[in-house]
């Protein structure tokens, strides 16, 4: 048989790059890298495929709904799938020899898997199923993760984790939507992969993504408007007067993914109920901030005392610490800040 390399033939055999081969290629740039990082990302990829399957079959397997009244560390009702997703991630990451510490939204304390002198080089902190209250109604949810180095000189697990977001060596999210999307940054731009169910692999579909500089939409839970600080209310008045659209899913991964691709601004301001903000710094705000900044956007605190402070510069005092958040297209974040300062 004569093998043809015609364009028509190549169209049927696209040059597919899997998440795995993408990471291996990135590691080639660091000749001293021993492949530890690749193993961690392959654990996250395996966990993502497993969680995606659970999310898709949840109603059939009867794992929707809450976990019999159990609450997580934030006092929020745990969904059955929160617990399942947490177990999947813990199991997949626990099998990787370079993971020192794992921490999750669902567990009060971090888990030490192995010490630095036993090969533990990295800490992984994650929200296993963000937006899980949307699950029962089949709305997109996601997993968010952040990877930090393990400092073997710091004995306590929480202390070694409490690093500002600028120290993240990688961050990403998996969106369980109409397709399963894996967005990753290791500090060299933002890459997007989609799970091809036929191949069972995440296939790269976006290289060095750039967030649009502007986008005429905002994403906020406007029902809390009455309890936002004045500046946020003034910004919303300005946005209404300028015919902006409102888009809010209530699932941070979905809302931020839309903004990454289409532009706009995501806000979770301080409220009377949560004066320090609601979202968690270390496994919601920081990973999203790293992705948005790597894509050319801005991610700031939006608090009254430090509105323009970068989220990734906050020095955490606890792994479940909350923060207010303003992130998205640079022009839109600046527009919000012009009303806050």
Site for Mg ion in 120-139 (CB under 5 A): 127, 130
In the complex with ligand AHM, the residue whose CB is nearer, 203 or 249, is 249
In the complex with ligand AHM, the residue whose CB is nearer, 37 or 218, is 218
Supply the minimum distance, in Å, between the C-beta of residue 91 and ligand AHM: 21
In the complex with ligand AHM, the residue whose CB is nearer, 141 or 203, is 141
The tokens of 144 are what?
């968010």
Asked if 42 is part of the footprint of ligand AHM (rule: CB under 6 A), the reply reads: no
Asked if 131 is part of the footprint of ligand AHM (rule: CB under 6 A), the reply reads: yes
Supply the minimum distance, in Å, between the C-beta of residue 76 and Mg ion: 9
Pick one of 174, 252, 292, 299: the residue that binds ligand AHM (CB under 6 A): 252
Helix (H), strand (E), coil (C) string for the chain: CCCCCCHHHHHHCCCCCEHHHHHHHHHHCCCCCCCHHHHHHHHHHHHHHHHHHHHHCHHHHCCCCEEEEEECCCCCEEEHHHHHHHHHHHHHHHCCCCEEEEEECCCCCCEECCCHHHCCCEEEEEEEEECHHHHHHCCCEEEEEEEEECCCCCCCHHHHHCCCHHHCCEEEEEEECCCEEEEEECCCCEEEEEEECCCCEEEEEECCCCCCCCCCEEECCHHHHHHCCHHHHHHHHHHHHCCCEECCCCCHHHHHHHHHHHCCEEEECCCCCCCCCCEEHHHHHHHHHHHHHHCCCEEECCCCCCCCCEHHHCCCCCCCCEECEEEECHHHHHHHHHHHC
Supply the minimum distance, in Å, between the C-beta of residue 81 and ligand AHM: 11
Binding residues for ligand AHM, how many (CB under 6 A)?
Answer: 11
Site for Mg ion in 8-47 (CB under 5 A): none
Pick one of 127, 157, 181, 286: the residue that binds ligand AHM (CB under 6 A): 127
In the complex with Mg ion, the residue whose CB is nearer, 101 or 144, is 144
Asked if 132 is part of the footprint of ligand AHM (rule: CB under 6 A), the reply reads: yes
Asked if 43 is part of the footprint of ligand AHM (rule: CB under 6 A), the reply reads: no
In the complex with ligand AHM, the residue whose CB is nearer, 142 or 330, is 142
Asked if 332 is part of the footprint of ligand AHM (rule: CB under 6 A), the reply reads: no
- Which of Mg ion, ligand AHM, none does 251 bind, CB closer than 5 to 8 A by kind? ligand AHM
Query: What is the binding site for ligand AHM (CB under 6 A)?
Result: 76, 105, 127, 130-132, 221, 250-252, 278
**Site residues (CB under 5 A) for Mg ion?**
127, 130
């Amino acid at each position: 048989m004569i093998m043809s390399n015609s364009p028509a033939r190549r169209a049927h055999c696209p040059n597919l790059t899997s998440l795995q081969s993408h990471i291996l290629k990135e590691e080639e740039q660091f000749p001293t890298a021993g492949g530890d990082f690749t193993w961690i990302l392959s654990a996250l990829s395996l966990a993502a495929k497993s969680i995606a399957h659970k999310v898709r079959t949840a109603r059939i397997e009867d794992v929707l709904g809450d976990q019999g009244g159990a609450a997580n560390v934030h006092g929020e009702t745990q969904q059955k799938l929160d617990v399942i997703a947490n177990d999947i991630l813990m199991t997949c990451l626990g099998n990787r020899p370079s993971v020192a510490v794992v921490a999750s939204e669902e567990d009060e304390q971090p888990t030490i898997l192995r010490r630095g002198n036993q090969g533990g080089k990295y800490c992984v902190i994650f929200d296993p199923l963000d937006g899980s209250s949307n699950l029962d109604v089949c709305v997109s949810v996601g997993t968010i993760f952040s990877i930090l180095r393990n400092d073997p000189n710091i004995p306590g697990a929480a202390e070694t984790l409490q690093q500002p977001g600028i120290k993240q060596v990688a961050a990403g999210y998996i969106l369980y939507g109409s397709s399963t999307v894996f967005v990753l940054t290791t500090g060299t731009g933002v890459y997007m992969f989609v799970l091809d169910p036929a191949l069972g692999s995440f296939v790269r579909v976006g290289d060095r993504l750039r967030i649009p500089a502007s986008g005429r939409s905002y994403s906020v839970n406007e029902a809390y408007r009455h309890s936002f600080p004045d500046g946020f209310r003034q910004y919303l008045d300005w946005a209404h007067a300028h015919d902006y659209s409102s888009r809010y899913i209530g699932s941070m991964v979905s809302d931020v993914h839309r903004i990454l691709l289409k532009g706009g601004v995501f806000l979770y301001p301080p409220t009377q109920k949560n004066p320090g903000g609601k979202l968690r710094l270390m496994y919601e705000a920081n990973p999203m901030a790293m992705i948005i900044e790597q894509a050319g956007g801005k991610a700031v605190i939006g608090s009254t005392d430090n509105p323009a402070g970068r989220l990734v510069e906050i020095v955490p005092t606890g792994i479940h610490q909350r923060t207010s958040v303003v992130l998205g297209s640079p022009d839109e974040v600046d527009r919000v800040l012009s009303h806050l300062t």
